Amino acid sequence: MPVDLSLVDAAAQLTFAVHEVLTRAAAELGLSVTQLRMLGILRDRTPTMASLADQLALDRSSVSGLVDRAATKGLVERAPSETDRRVVTVGLTAAGREAAVRIEAVVEPRIEALLESASAADQAALRRLAATLPSAV
């Protein structure tokens, strides 16, 4: 890969490579990339449906269907919020937590392999950059 990539081209190349890893992993695990992303979000939090929609950058009706399909697979469950009974939260079931562990076991080494040729300094720079990016997650 040329060293003189523009910033946009460099970001796009990294995005495409990571997306390919996620796409293949999701397919191997019988999930869509969006389901994989949702389970990743739910690993360490129990957001409201509205917050989950925002984090996935999807409209609320799409997230409702996504959660319905994941609930049918036994991966997630809805619950009323503890602070506002009108609000619904989404969390992982035991099977969903197991799926999230499998996802991490598949994805993490592949992304590490993708980045292993980068120097330690470049990997540290990537971590710092990622920590500064605005993120829905």
Q: Could you read off the pLDDT of 42-62 as tens digits, one per residue? A: 999 999 999 999 999 999 999
Cα four-point dihedral sign 91, 93, 66, 79: negative
Considering the domain boundaries, does residue 131 fall inside one?
Answer: no
Segment among 29-38, 57-66, 125-134 with least mean pLDDT: 125-134
Range of the domain at 17: 7-124
CA distance 104 to 86: 33
How distant is the alpha carbon of residue 8 from its chain centre?
A: 22
Q: How many structural domains comprise the chain?
A: 1
Instruction: Give the chain's largest Cα–Cα span.
Output: 55
Q: Specify the pTM.
A: 0.84
CA distance 3 to 32: 33
Considering the domain boundaries, does residue 93 fall inside one?
Answer: yes
